[in-house]
Structures are given as structure tokens and as C-alpha cells.
Chain A
Amino acid sequence: MNFYKTFLSVCLLSFATHSIASSEIDDIMSEYNQKNRFSSKTIDENKGNLVLYTREDIERMHATRLRDIFKTIPIVYYHENRYALPDPLTSGMFEPYRSSFIRIYIDGVEVTQGWAGSGLVIYGDINIDFVDHIEFYYTTPSYESSSESAYVTIFMYSKDPVSDGDATIKLTQGSRGYNEQSVSVGDKIGDVSYMINLAHTDAKREKIDNGTSAPLSRDFEENQLFAYIKDDREFFHLQIIDKKTDSFAGASWDATPLESSMDYLNVHMDYGIDINQNFKFTFAYDWLKTTFDHEDDYPLMNAIAMGAKTLHGYSINDTFTAELTYKQTFDNHHILAGIKDRYKHLQSIKLDGNSSIEPDFNLEHIISLFVQDQYTLNEHHLLSASISYNYINRNGGVSDDDLYHFRLGYIYNNAQDTFKVYLFRTQFAVEPTMRSFNFGNYYDIEPQTSYGISAEYHYQELYKQIRVGAIYMQDKDSLLKLGLSDNSKDTRYFISYIDGEYQFDTDNKIAFRIYNSHYKNIYNYDSLDDISAYLSFFNRFGKFDFYNGFVYHINSLDWKSYIDWTSTISMDINENLTVTLKGDNILDRAKETNIFRFDPSKTPEMMMEPLHVSPIDRMFSINVEYRF
């Protein structure tokens, strides 16, 4: 297929739909949409540099999994590691998990996976049928929302039963037998709101040829429950994910496993209460059981296999987090202070045959103190200053860490313009998975210290907006090196971006993003340039809704262009029934990750040609949505 002809056709089709100028009622409805959508109530300008997906965006993109959104965000793209886990920061080498510094929150509460750190490892590709909107913030956000050091913080907010009171059933059938079903119910009775969402996914994914008669599989079957109950003062969330996965290359050095599967059973629950106008308390509990089955004809790479060719068993870890925050306004000072206590525990690792591994290092205890002052100079100018301290205590003879963070910010804001600049220092400690499950056994690693500055200007009118910005960051003792203890040179980042949106009327809009990143001393590269872009068209003709999205990537490793085209055509059969046809990665040219391989049969071991794997499958699907 000629990409340029296709692209031109989509552009012409898109522009042809909005020849009629918007009327006064269109203008008023657009203004109402902007000011009343749920996201307009959760966005805090002081959180940082935002990429937002509104409910309308998610609906019109027909995004069913977080991956559908994540693949379009810039800089930190959606990638999967050799275990087929969401791991955007993976180097493609043999580390167990890299992306601990991408944090994930649901309705303001962090979801963690204890030993891996971030909940991204499980939640990075969940079914998002329960989600209203998603906010991605770059660099350290405001303590109003998160006190964890992060490269990217993802906030997902669940649907509101007041505007989503109907029950909904969604059924999807796709290529290779891929199928997905979800059902949602919610309501508000008196002051109490509730929502229950159940989703089942049987993901038949593309197989990857590894040179053997048994190609690598990433298929998974997942059952997911999301539920909450809340009123104006209290909330309780319960999330359960049961995911059975083929774990791709797994623990095989040359990516030719005889067996490779991992099953995850995860429970997250949290409770929050506004004790009074000033104090808020939140408690969260995360529990994860991982069952693993690995087998190869050479010793496995996994550190706990200790040279064995088979590894069957399970591990359990859990995390308790309690947080108390205090808010008060004195004159023009909006003060926020808080204390957080997090306790991570790796229970023993049980192996088949009733043996077990009892690691010396199985506890991590983190105490965090933070305070932030937002000082309003007048209605247009705001200064903010934040400081926090983390003390991380570990057992098993692993060194403790003291981490200090600060952020200074200035925001100018009026009806149309926003300018913000932040200066920050952040420290990152390696999460336990990288310390204890890595084949290098990195027990004592210096925390990474990052200094940075970011600036952004945003101009917005009713039907158009444009944003330009730049971020500079420098890491001392960078953890984005192949060897975690390689502190020879600082890692440097210079990122610039421009994005914009033009809405022709309530039904038709075009949006774009262009990012340019330049890195020094990252992983094992002296220098790396990376350019990405996302162009999207949203159109509506009568009962038909169209979405076309193009994600473009190119980098200096090989200057190869990657294009991921997603297209949907949706038809409202009646007010309750919608049918959608969707194509993902239609051109089969989405961005790929190198999965590196060693040949263990050679002495010394030799590097093999890496596998080039895209985390985005080419798939065509039909979706039926019924509301009742």
C-alpha cells in the first residue's frame, strides 16, 4: 500500500467534512464541553507538563486498552520487554524490569507492584473501559497529586456514574481470534456513587519468528475487575487482575525457550477519607502472586534459577501504603504537607517440589515527608516551592538510601495564555526487582540524581490551541545505563516539542504533536537523536464517526521510519447501539524494540542478531457497544 496516497486520502476526507462554518449553538456547546468535561476538573496547571486524553478522545479513538493510548504519547513510548511486559524504558537487554520510574495512579491513588516498584508492570496495558480520561505528566509532578519521583506519571480517572449512569456492554472480535468483552454498571443513589466494571480479554497476538519451529508467543488471557464506592467524603476502590500470559523470550538467553509463561494474580484496594477540611488520609494495599514456568535447553538467565534449565514456582509480594496530607491556605499561601509510609515485602519464592528460596533481602520500608507552598502573587501569577525527603530502609545487608527532592515553579495564566517554568532536583533509587532478580545482583547501587529545567507556553482559544516547550535534564549516576553501576558520564536529555489542535466544529478536529529528543550517554550510546510525531483526525458525518491516527518515529540508530496508522469507522445504529470497525497498525510498520540475544552454545557466548519486535500488533476488529 502506498502510504503517502493513503495519508493524502485521509487528509482530504477529513477536510471535506467541515466545509460548513460553526454556528452560535456549536460555539456554546464547545465551550460547555471544555468547561464541564471531567478532565477540566482534575487538571491542575501546577502538576507539570501535561499530555491529556479526554473522555471524548478515548471514545472516538475507540481505545480499549491503555496501550492504544500509550503508543501515541511522545518521548517515553509504549514498549514491551523480553517477558512481554509493558516496559517503555527497556534497553532490550537482559534486565528484569526498567520502568519503575513511570508511575501509575487511578483516581488519585498510586497502584504499585511492590518488588517491581511501579504498577505499570501489570497496569501498563489494562482494559480501560472504566476510564473517563487519562493525564500523562512529564518529570516530577506537584505533591498535590504525587510525591513519587518519576519520569512520567500517568493519572487515570474512572467514569462518573452521574454522566455514565447507563449500563454498557462492549464486545470485540479481532484478527487471529482476539476477543474482548466488558460490562459496566454504575449509579448514584442519594450521596453514594458506585461503579463496577468487568472485562475479559483473550488476546491472540502476532507470533515472532525466532529461527526455530516454535515462534515466540505473547498471547494472554485476562480477567479484570474494577469497582468503587464513594460519597463526598470517602472512597473505596477494589481492583483485581488475573492475567495468564505467554511470556515471550522469557528467561532464555537466545530467545528460544522450550517453555515460557507467567501468570499474575493482582489485588489492589484503597480507602480514602477527608477527615476534615484540612486533613486527608489514604490507605492502599497491593498484593501480587506471580506464577512462573520457564524451561530452556541451556541454563536460564533468571538469577533465582541459579544455573538450572527449568524454573517452575511462584512468588508473592505485597505493599502497604498509608498517607496523611494536610492542606491549609494562609493569605496567599496554599500549603500542602504530608507523610507517607510504604512497606514492601517479598514473601518466600516457592519452587515446584516443595523447595523454596528465602532471599536475605525481602523488605523495603520507605518513609516520605513532603511540603509544598503555592504562593499566589495575584490572579495571574503563581509561585510554587516543594521539598521532600525519602528514607529507604532495606534488610539483608542491602544499603539504605536518603533521597532529597525539590521543585521550584512559576506559572503565568490568563484566559488564553499559560506559561510555566520549573526547576527541579530529583533522586531515583533502584527498585528491588532490579537489585535482587538481575543476573548482576546489583545490591548496592547509588541513587540517580537528576537536575532539570522545563519551560512551556500554551495558547488556547475556543476552537484552537498550541503549545511549545522544552525540557533539559542531567542525570548523575544514571540508571539508564546498561550497567547500573556505570557512573562514568552523566546522562543528558534535551527535549523540545510543539503540539496543537484545531477544532472545525463540535464534530471535526485535527491535532498534532511533534517531539525532538537529543540524549547523551544513555544506555550504551554516546549520543542518540529521536523524533516522534502524532497526527490525528476526528470526523463525524451524521451517524458515522471516523478516527485516523498516525504515529511516526525515527531515531539516529538507523534512521529508519516507523509509521503506525490506526483507523476506525463507527456507526450509531440507534441511540443505544454502536458498531465500530477498527484497524490497528494497518501498515504493519509500527515502532519496534530490539530484543538482544546471546548464543549460550558458544564459548565465550556470542551476541546474536537481535529480534526486532513491535509491541503493536497489526489487527482488524469489529466492536459492538450496547447501552441499556
Chain B
Amino acid sequence: MILILAYTQMFALDKESTLKIYTKILSSIFPTKKQINVYVPNREYYDILKSSNKLNVVDDIKKASIAIVTNLKELQSVKKLNKDIEIFATNEKLLFQDQSIVGAFYWKKGRSQLLFIKNRLDRYHIKLSDEYDKFIIEL
């Protein structure tokens, strides 16, 4: 389609590709689940992920298998509501700051980056397939 966009629309996420990448990542974390319950406090991600057939965006964190956080405020809020939940981040800084985050998908130097921390995956008994080997680091 021809792109005729106003300046104010510049920072929105592309819905289709964002949904695709999060469906892929979360399906790989929970390979046996047909439906994955996700808690997403961020409005933009909430609106995108709720249109998924595979992901079930829930409002009650107690029903969620994993939470996706985009900033420190959301992280603190999620941990207050459920300190044991698995957390995935969209921010590199949070990944290295907080031990409860298993991985992150974020934007750095103009391209997307995916990173998982090995001992945190082990803690939650997450076994990712071989295609993720280059995205797993040990701390």
C-alpha cells in the first residue's frame, strides 16, 4: 500500500509483524500449550496481542502464564500482583536489572534484538528449540 502518513503516526508498532513475533516467542516458551494466557499492562501491546488466536490476553494476572512488560513501572506493578510469574520484557535494561525476567525482545541500534538468560530459563524449566541457541546467553 502507498504510505501516506501523518507525522503523529510515526511511532506506532506494525500490528501484523508484532503479533507474529510475540506469538512465535511465547509459543516457543510454552510449546505444549494450545492457548497461552498472557498479562499485558501496556495498552498498545494489549490491543495488538488480543487479536491473536494462540495468545489469550487476560486481565487477571493470576490466570496468566507469563507477563509482558515495557517499563520499570509495569514491572513493579506486575511483581506486586504476582511475584512468581514468568516475565518477558521489551526493554534491554530491564532484562539485566531484574532476575525474574527470562528474556527480552527489544530495539537496539536500529534493529530488533532477542535475548534469553540461561539460568533464568532453567529456573522456570523452559527448554527452547535449537534455533534459539544464538539468542541465549549466560550471566
Chain A residues proximal to chain B, CB less than 8 Å: 23-26, 28-29, 31-38, 40-46, 54-59, 108, 132-133, 144, 160, 162-163, 166, 232-233, 235, 272, 274, 334, 374, 376, 379, 382, 411, 413, 506, 575
Q: How many Å from the CB of B137 to the closest CB on chain A?
A: 9
Binds A, one of B5-13, B52-60, B76-84, B119-127: B5-13
Residues of chain B within 8 A of A45, CB atoms compared:
2-3
A59–B16 touching, CB < 8 Å:
no
A44–B20 touching, CB < 8 Å:
no
B3–A43 touching, CB < 8 Å:
yes
Q: Please, could you name 13 A-B residue pairs with CB atoms under 8 Å apart, sorted by A?
A: A25-B135, A28-B24, A36-B14, A40-B14, A41-B11, A43-B3, A55-B109, A59-B110, A132-B110, A162-B11, A235-B7, A274-B6, A506-B111
B95: nearest chain-A partner, CB-CB = A575
Q: A32-B18, A41-B10 are in contact. Are A382 and B109 (CB under 8 A)?
A: no
Residues of chain A within 8 A of B114, CB atoms compared:
25, 29
| B93 contacts chain A at the CB level, 8 A cutoff | yes
A231: nearest chain-B partner, CB-CB = B8
Q: A108-B7, A374-B4 are in contact. Are A54 and B110 (CB under 8 A)?
A: yes
Q: How many Å from the CB of B27 to the closest CB on chain A?
A: 11
- C-alpha gap A407/B3 in the complex (Å): 19
Of A35, A233, A506, the residue contacting B14 (CB under 8 A) is A35
Q: A23-B131, A25-B132 are in contact. Are A35 and B16 (CB under 8 A)?
A: yes
- C-alpha gap A26/B129 in the complex (Å): 13
Of A23, A56, A108, the residue contacting B110 (CB under 8 A) is A56
Residues of chain B within 8 A of A379, CB atoms compared:
1
B2–A46 touching, CB < 8 Å:
yes
A41–B111 touching, CB < 8 Å:
no
* In the A-B complex, the 7 residue pairs with the closest CB atoms: A55-B110, A56-B110, A23-B131, A35-B14, A163-B107, A59-B109, A35-B17
Besides A29-B114, A42-B5, A506-B111, 17 more A-B contacts (Cβ < 8 Å) are A24-B131, A25-B25, A28-B24, A32-B20, A33-B112, A35-B17, A36-B112, A37-B110, A38-B10, A40-B14, A41-B10, A41-B12, A55-B109, A59-B109, A108-B7, A235-B7, A411-B2
- C-alpha gap A57/B109 in the complex (Å): 9
| B74 contacts chain A at the CB level, 8 A cutoff | no
- C-alpha gap A54/B34 in the complex (Å): 38
Q: How many Å from the CB of A184 to the closest CB on chain B?
A: 13
A25–B112 touching, CB < 8 Å:
no
Residues of chain A within 8 A of B132, CB atoms compared:
25
Residues of chain B within 8 A of A31, CB atoms compared:
17, 20
Most A CB within 10 A of own CB, among B24, B111, B131, B132: B111
Residues of chain A within 8 A of B8, CB atoms compared:
232-233, 274
Of B2, B5, B12, the residue contacting A382 (CB under 8 A) is B2
- C-alpha gap A59/B109 in the complex (Å): 6
Residues of chain B within 8 A of A46, CB atoms compared:
2, 4
Residues of chain B within 8 A of A25, CB atoms compared:
24-25, 28, 114, 131-132, 135
- C-alpha gap A106/B82 in the complex (Å): 45
| B86 contacts chain A at the CB level, 8 A cutoff | no
B131–A413 touching, CB < 8 Å:
no
A36–B17 touching, CB < 8 Å:
yes
- C-alpha gap A59/B112 in the complex (Å): 13
Q: How many Å from the CB of B4 to the closest CB on chain A?
A: 6
B4–A334 touching, CB < 8 Å:
yes
Per-residue 0/1 for B76-104: is the Cβ within 8 Å of any A Cβ (1 yes, 0 no)? 00000000000000001100100000000
